[in-house]
Structures are given as C-alpha cells and as structure tokens.
Structure 1
C-alpha cells in the first residue's frame, strides 16, 4: 500500500481479551458497509498477560495467543479480504514488557546470562553501571531492606512473592541464603523507589516494566520486526502505524530501513508542534493525525471566550500562564522522574563536575519547543533550545556550549542521541501528563498535540493548514479521537460551547463549587468541565477519571507519592455530587443548554475531518455519540449490534433527526465515507460565505473538478443569538450540473449570485447543521 494506494479511510479497532481476532472479523461486513476500506488494529503481537492494549509486547515473534494466535490472525485477514478491506497494523518498535520476566524469553535470558546473553544487544542497558537493577521491592522507607527478607529460592528461580527471576548457572546450592544467591546474579532486586534516579536500563518514559529496545541495531530490528514484515511480504498487512518513533535512537534511519522492507502505507505517531514539519528524509506518508485534530477541533472554538474564561480561572486560583507551568512541569520531570536518564547523559560530559553537568542537561531538555530534534536535520529546533537554555542559565553557558559543540560534531554519537531521545520523554511527561492537568482554564484545548495557549483556530488558519496538508502530506492520517486522547471528540465538541457561554458557565461553576467543590482549584475546574462534557456519567467512571487526573497533575497527590486523604476526597466527590439533587439538577439543566450546540459542533468537526485532506481514521465506536474520557475509559467495549441496526435503517433511506441516538452522526460518517469512495478528492479549495453570518460557515471543495463540497456550522450559539443565517449565501464552484445535498437528498436551492451560483445557507442548513454537496450532471 504505497502512497498512491493509501486507504481512503481507516477504522481503529482496539483488540484485547474479549475482543480478539474472531470478534474483529465479525465487524468486517459492517465496516465495509460503513465505508472505510482498511481496518487499523492495535498491536497484535504476544503481549503481557491480560493486556488490554497490546503495547506491552513480550514476544515479537508470534501473534498474540490471547487474541487467537496465528490461526486467528490468518482468519481475520481472510475475512477482511472477502469484504474488500485491508489491514493496517500498529507496531511497537521502542520497547518490550519485562513486568513478568518469565513471559519475556529475551529478558529472562538477559537476567540469566548478563552481558553474555544473546539478547543483551536488544536492550539499552548501561552495563558499566553494574548488575541490572530490577525495582520490584516494597519500600516502607527502609530502601527495601525488609523486603529482601522475603526472598526465596524455589523451582530453580529466585522468587519474591509472585515475581520469579532466573539463576545463573552454578550460583545456587541447596541451603544457600537467598540474599547471597541474589548477589551472585547479573541483576539486583531493589526498591521500587530507586527506579527514577538509579535505573541502568532505558525505559519507555517512566514505566520501569517497559524496557527500551535498540532497533538501531539491524540485527535487533530484524529480530523484533521479522514476523510483522513476513505478514507484509505475504500480503496480509498493507500498512503500518509506528508507535512512538521519538523514543528511538535515530528515527529517520529506522524508518528508512523499515521502508526498504515495506512498500505499504506507513504513518508515525509523531506529535508536531504548531508549524512543525516531519523531517523531509523520513520515507513515510505522514503522522497519525494529532496535528489535524488540533486544527479541526480548534476551528469550532470561539476566540471571544478566551478573556472571560482566563479571568475566571485566575480568580479561582488556577494557573493561566501555560508556558510558565509547562516549564515548571518539564523541569520537575527531568529532575525527578527521569533523573536516571539525565545522570546517564551527564556522565558523557567527561571533565565536567557532575552536578553542573546534570544541571546543564536538565536546562537543555526543558528548553525544547518541539518534542525532539533529529540532528543533523532540523538544526533550527536544536539551536533554539541551546540558545534558550543559555539565556535562562548564563552561569552554565560554557557547559551548554560544549554540549552543543560535541553534539553537532557527532550528531549520531551517544551524547546527541540520548539528549534527543530524552527530550521527547521530558516533553511528553511534563506537558501531556502534567501541565495539561494543571492549566485547566478550558480543557477542550488540553489535548495531545494541542496548544492550550492558542485559544482556537481561525478559519483562515484552518484553510491554510488544509491546503498545506493536501500539497505536502496528502496521504497522512487525520483523527479526532484515539486510544491516547485525553477526552473524546464529542466531549470536546460539547466543551467548545463553553467558549460561547463563558458568563453562564462560570456563574454555574461558582454556584456548584460553593455547594460541592473540590479543595484543589485546578482539579475542581477540571471536574466541573468533565461533568458537563461527559454527562450523563456514573460515579465510578467520573471518580476513576478524576483520581487519574489528580495523580497526573502531581499537585496534591501523585502516582509515586499518593495522599490518602486527598484521594479519598476525590473518590467521594463523584458520588457526593451526583447524589446532591440541587447540584445534579443544575448540571443537567446546563447540559440541556449546551447539548444541541455540542451536537452541531460534533457533526461539523466530523464532516470536516472526513472530507478534508488526508486519510481519516474513525476511532472505534465514535460513529455514534461517544462521551469517553482518557484511557482506560476510551477502551470500553463497543455495541456493534446497535450500530448495525441503525446502519440498516440508513441504508433503507432513513434520514434521522439530530437526537440522543447519535444516528445523525452515523449518517454523516456513512455519507462522507461514501463520497470518499465515489470521488477522487485530490485538490482543496476554501469556500467563503457572504453575508451577515459568514463567519459561522466553514466550507471547502474537494476534487480536481471541485464536485464535492463540505459545509459546517461554526459557533452555533452566536449564530442563533445573531438571528440565524439571514441573507448569508455560500458561492459554489462553477461547473455543469446541479448540486445535491446527500445528507437530505434534496437539490440545493441556489440563487444567481451575479455570475456564480450561491446556496442560501438558511435553506441549505435547515435540517442538519452540516451539508455534503455533490454536483450531479
């Protein structure tokens, strides 16, 4: 599936025990009828026991037995082929799970044989630092000393409760003291608290049970990718989604080697800062679409809401200077969570005092305005980071300039490589997993790849980005929801309405907080927005989400240092609020106010995403309304029976109302995907409405003959307040034949605009807030 045979659209399926290969196969006929032409599956290699996502691979040489193994994989491929669907696989080149050493034969061998293991080259281990540290021991403040007394030797293994570890040959005789036996091994069991500062193998972010893999070694790449590439060669897999390339030593070199073995469609999970481009040398079709997500969702946000929402957040004690908070959070991550990685980099600066070296490394890591640089390409982002670090810490200028000189002199050397690998980790953990949970002014903007300090996206910016995508990355993926988004597309669409009703919302939050507020301001504001955005929601889902959010924010509690009292307050808040009739009625009434405009935004952003440049992905279940929150909430099972029933009615000609069933969204998705299949959509032309309400219309034409037009309503509350569309018209592309809105089946009522055809928006959008026009001769 090379670029010219890229999918027209994909549908993401989250495979897991309970929804395995056979279950995925059962969706094939539905997905083909829906209109996608490729299934985009989560990782399918053998993963840790009970894995609900597949990113914790333990054996890259076989399909996951828990999903149905090789037989199930082949059967899925056969079923997809019969329905004209191709398969795109999510692959995980950066890390493997080592949570249970017994389950990972490579890691088991490394622990048993040390640096002499045939698999030692597969993992990024600092052997000069001594035995591999395994941070599994309980620690009640004694550095794990008491836990060492729980070690035993059984069945030829060193054991610690349910954990089992191998013994090197000749290191144990019956009756030996287990602690002394451990001292003879190539590893040491240590307190879990030591993982951040002392770990001597590279991890995936801060997850000690996910060990980084050295795919920069061609032999390791072959060992980890051989099975998937066999599926590609056999024609069973037609495209690859590469997880977290920024964690790799040299992403560009890895992708070039991957391209040599795979001529299919390849996209990378790369988070781009606004205005950032993928390196030109990467032989891929594009990203997984977070850049498009920011643009599509942002264009439905009213910039007029920024000032009052900012003022309210400041008044409530919520930080509003995102740049400052982001820097603080990144610095915290670099000096605590990723201290071991910083120490390893600093040790490369020979002759520099250790503390100054660490300070300089931290300052540079914090200073990047993108996730990472890719020397020797993209020198600009590296140079900006160095200059910013020097300005912030002139006392470290000498050390920083030395780092700069050495890294640029040897861009593929260990110093440059590790700094760049680690900068992405600092940004991801500092920004995505900390700052976005602290700056909660308006969380519709707080998304992976988002820009909370940029309050929305103007239509002009949106069109410019779409034109650029069509010209440069026409086969990139676009998305609105993923397994990693902080909240689903429909939650964001509803929350976008708050920017149009800032006074009403902030007044409501004052009242609700006075009656039942949380004691931490940022979490309190996040909680009320979440309650409005995801309503109706049960106490278990809401409480679980808020507890995760509080730990990610690291203000009053955290994953590594939980505060039981505050966590109890958070856990009880959801039940208390939902059980309070006055508060619950108030929230329900406010949601009634924003639900309709939220549906309008949701239909608009979905139509725009599906018809704009790129290859759109539909995340599982989101063809109906989906009010999911961050994982694991967004990996709940999908009711395909309900979706089939509604699809059958649509196939019979039903044109549903916009209501709580979500059938209108399914209608938009089906018709937009059908238009993609019926027409070559190459080309993009922005269309601009004329009239009093022109700013509320977002429209564009697709196809070289411009025979497909998408029309969406922006800022519906303001549109209604202003008296509706009134005399506003949308000039349509010139051509033979008339226009039909495939959503309503009606010919488009048009007026002569003086040399061109124009559609009256009041008539065009009287049934749905969106229109999908096709020219019929």
Structure 2
C-alpha cells in the first residue's frame, strides 16, 4: 500500500498494482461476468478501510490522464523545497498525496497540514522501510512531515502551479461524477460510505472516520429544486452539491426502476468514430424497459469536453433501441432524443457531457391493443373462458406493451339468438358460458374427474356442445356449493339483494 508508488490511486484495498488501467472492452467484459455470476455484489468506492478517499483517487487518476503534465508538475514541485534528506520514493509519495487531497478552500489549509502529519506518520511506519511501529524513527518521520506541510503554502502561492492544479482538480471532480454514475448504474448494489455524499478527499483511517455533518447534507438536499441540473451545479462545483445532487437523482432513478437495476441485463453499446476509445456506453434492459448510460472518459473535464469536436463519433444502436428517449438528468420536459441507428455524441452532450436516457414506452395517450373475444382464447375446453387462458393472455398483453383489450359484450347467449352477444335476452346478466370450469374446480365445486378436456385443435367453436357441457358443470358446481360450508352464502345473498331490480324478473 505504501511502498510501490507509481500511481497511488491503485495502492488500494481490492486494487492491483500490476494493472495500471483497463480498456472499455475489458470493463464491459467484467460487468457481463458480474451480472452473470454476482449480480447483487456490492459496488463500493469507499469503506472504513480504504487508504484514500474516493475523490482523492479520482483526482490522482487525472494525473495519469496527461502524464507529460504530471512530469512537468513534479519538476516544479522539486524546485520549491530541498528534499535531499528524504528518500525519493517518499518524496514522490508526498507529491501525489498533496495533489490528490489538496483542499478546495484555502481556509482548510491549517487542518489539512495536521491531517497530513498524522497520515504520513502512519504511512512511514506501515511501509516498514525507514520507520516502523516497533522501532519508529521519529526524526525521519518529522523531516518528511515538515517537508510535506512546508510545501502547502508555496504551492498555493505559485500562479504557475495553481493553473495546472485547477485543471487537475476539475478533471478529478469530473472523474468523480463518472465514478458515481458507474457505481449506481452498473450491475451490483451501490454502497455509499458515510460522508461521501459530498466531495471526499480523506486519507487513511482515522482521517476517513471523522464526524460527518449530516445537518449540512440535509439542508442541501432540501434546497434542491426541479430547476437544478448538472450544468448549473458545475458552476459551483467546489461545494460538493453537484455530487450530492447527482447521487440523489441516481438513487431516485434506481428506486423508480427497481426491477430494471435488480434484474436488468447489462448490454454493451458499440461506439464508432474518432473518439470511440473514450466513450463508455451500455444499456440496462428488463422486460422491455431500457436505460442508456453514456460517459466520456479520459478527455479532460467539462471545459475541455464542451470544446470537443465529436465529429463522427456516434453510438451504434439496433432496431430494438429506436424510439424516444428522455434525458433523466435534465429538468426540461422536452429534452427528448429521437434515436435512429446512429446517435451523435455532439447532440447527446450538448447540455452536459454525461447522459442517462430512458426509453419512453408511450407518447401521450396513444396506445395499441387487441380485439379478441374471450371465447376465441386457446383453451382445453370447448371454448375460451375467463379462466387461466384469459390471465395468460393479459400477461402477454402486458409483456408486449399493449394498453387495450377490446372484448365482445358478455351478456347471456343461446341457440335461440345464434349465440350472438348482440342479440342477448338481458343487458344486465352475464354469459354463463364464460365461467371457467377450471376455476370452479379450483374452488372445490368440481372434481378433476368432472372436467371434460377437448383434445381437438379446431378453428371453430361448437357452441351447442359447449352449452351442454357448461350446464353439466354448473349443475354439479351448484350442488357442491349448496353442500359446502357456506363461506360464499352471505356474498350470494348480498348480490341478490343488490341486484334485485333486474334479477327477480330475469
């Protein structure tokens, strides 16, 4: 954790020093594997045992995005204070620590220095190179601690360094937003460690276990309105409200779409064009519901991305993804994208370079449906009924996003009116042919042996045979009902009393 200091963002619990980074293709592969094997694993970016805060690490990642800039910065840092008595590996550790956790507000410098001193003492002792817990070298520890704290003021007063650091800070904050989106939308259960709702530039424990100001967080949450968005909040990004708002929005999206995030497949989306290696996109899909995530990686922060000429960079979508998609991070009701097979990133990132879209199932009150008489449902009886076959058909309509099922009237029919529901003898009574024998059996009013199954696969209904069998079923069912324990007697009496105006004459 404290000896091999190539990039401290990887000197972390659960990380690997051997792997400097992974490709987007590799990320997709890992997420597909996670969904298939451990879909409810924890997505954690910070715990009580992490060695650096989650936003400290994302700022350190920004150093690696432009290595030439970091090389120049290290050279400038080396000119500020003499480091001859400090081991180069320890000095390099200090440089990264200061850059990763440097305060966003100068008012925090005094507290920051005290935190760094305690941190470096623990680091040097746990590294066991030039000090350790059993035999601490207090003199060397003090030299390293003084070296680190004495750098804070010169760094803050150097215009040359401050311009570079501002860029690194912005890139780190943007990386944090990307990390937050991935944590809350990729397969797994997101875990939010105490205090990380706002920016978290903590170091190792006990620094990452300081008291959390929950009153502040509650106040900020109450102040959010429908007008807030990422673009607006980025202007005041140093307060951390931006991260809190994004976390709140993503948690709300997860709550509304619980089944999609709990059970939904992870589907990688291909990207074509100049910046295809810098765009991570995937879908979460479940029972026709779809949410699309699109994130730009390694191209700087918002300022740089707003100037990026995305040229021909576009998402490659198939025919099942076409339609209207709502931007879930935009308050504008009309912020809807009509997707064809190519969605240009220049359109998608017009407002802010992070996009989470949801396929809109319906537009306005328009919808489609099916006209099908109940009698035409596939059944093992002579005709369809309001039984298992009807419930299966309703499930089918729901799965295929149909909104309407139009039926024929279900009033009494018989041979005298050619079994036509439009020539019924009553506008109030129901068609007894639609009563399901299987449901009567389920109630206990028919035995299994009473049921006559129709093995014929015909396209026409034999109404006379259906009527004969139904009268037989109902007679047996009524007899068994009368001999039952009378649970339904009161319901029957209430029905007769309520419907007496037409029932007695009928």
TM-score normalised by length of structure 1: 0.42
Q: 2:272 aligns with which of 690, 715, 719?
A: 690
Q: Tell me the equivalent position of 2:250.
A: 672
d(CA) in 1 for partners of 2:5, 2:214: 34
Give me the whole-angstrom Cα distance separating, in 2, the residues matched to 1:621 and 1:469: 27
Answer yes or no: is 1:663 the counterpart of 2:241: yes
CA distance 1:724–1:667, shift in 2 (3 Å): farther
Match of 2:324 in 1: 738
Asked if 1:500 is matched to 2:65, the reply is yes
Specify the SS of the correspondent of 2:272. Answer: coil
CA distance in 1, matches of 2:344, 2:336: 7
Residue 710 in structure 1 maps to residue 286 in structure 2: no
Q: How does 1:12-23 map to 2 (within 5 A)?
A: none
**Equivalent residue for 1:588, pick from 162, 166, 173:** 162
Partner of 1:460: 25
Pairing 1:549–2:123 present: yes
Matches within 5 A, 1:83-482: 436-482=1-47
Q: For the structure 1 residues 752 and 565, does the alpha-carbon distance in structure 2 shift closer, same or farther, using more than 3 Å as the test?
A: closer
Report SS of the residue matched to 1:619.
Answer: coil
SS in 2 for 1:510: helix
Corresponding residue number in structure 2 for 1:531: 98
Is residue 100 of structure 2 the alignment partner of residue 522 of structure 1? Answer: no
The structural deviation recorded for 1:497 is 1.1
Q: 1:640 to 1:769 in 2, by over 3 A?
A: farther
Per the TM alignment, residue 711 of structure 1 is displaced from its structure 2 partner at its CA by 1.6
1:583 and 1:456 map into 2 onto residues whose CA distance is 33
Per-residue deviation at 1:447?
Answer: 1.0
Can you list the C-alpha shifts for 1:98-126, whole angstroms capped at 9, x where unaligned?
A: xxxxxxxxxxxxxxxxxxxxxxxxxxxxx
Whether the aligned pair in 2 keeps the contact of 1:671 and 1:743 (CA below 8 Å) is yes
- Structure 1 residue runs without a partner (length 5+): 1-435
Determine whether 1:774 maps to 2:352.
no
Matched, 1:613 2:187: yes
Structure 2 contact 273–312 (Cα < 8 Å) conserved: yes
Aligned counterpart, 1:765:
349
Partner of 1:726: 311
CA distance in 2, matches of 1:634, 1:692: 41
Query: Aligned to 1:625, which of 192, 199, 215?
Result: 199
Q: 1:675 to 1:629 in 2, by over 3 A?
A: same
Which residue does 1:75 correspond to in 2? none
1:731-774 residue CA offsets vs partner (Å, 9 max, x unmatched): 35635751111111345564665xx2x33222322333322111
Return the offset for 1:690.
1.8
Conserved in 1, the CA contact under 8 Å of 2:322 and 2:339?
Answer: no
Residue 642 of structure 1, CA deviation = 2.1
In the alignment, does 2:164 pair up with 1:599? Answer: no
Residue 539 of structure 1 deviates from its aligned partner by: 0.7
For 1:648 and 1:728, the matched residues in 2 are separated by 39
Which of 638, 645, 666 is matched with 2:219 structurally?
645
Bigger Cα Rg: 2
Secondary structure of 1:699's aligned partner = strand
Q: Is the 8 A contact 2:349 2:355 kept in 1?
A: yes
Q: CA deviation at 1:589?
A: 3.0
Query: 1:725–1:761: 8 Å Cα contact kept in structure 2?
Result: yes
- Deviations 1:506-536, CA, capped at 9 Å, x for gaps: 2221221243254111211111111111111
The structure-2 alpha-carbon separation of the partners of 1:542 and 1:766, relative to structure 1 and needing over 3 Å to count, comes to: farther
Gap change, CA 1:725 and 1:639, over 3 Å in 2? farther
| Structure 1: distance between partners of 2:73 and 2:116 | 19
Show CA shifts across 1:541-572 (max 9, x none). Answer: 11221221111111111111111220110232
- CA–CA distance in 2 between the matches of 1:494 and 1:582? 17
1:402-442 per-position Cα deviation (integer Å, ceiling 9, x unaligned): xxxxxxxxxxxxxxxxxxxxxxxxxxxxxxxxxx2111011
Closer, same or farther: CA 620–582 of 1 in aligned 2, 3 Å: closer
Structure 2 unpaired stretches of 5+: 104-108, 363-506
Over 3 Å counting, the alpha-carbon distance change for 1:570 and 1:665 in structure 2 is: same
**Distance (whole Å) between structure 1 residues aligned to residue 350 and residue 184 of structure 2:** 22
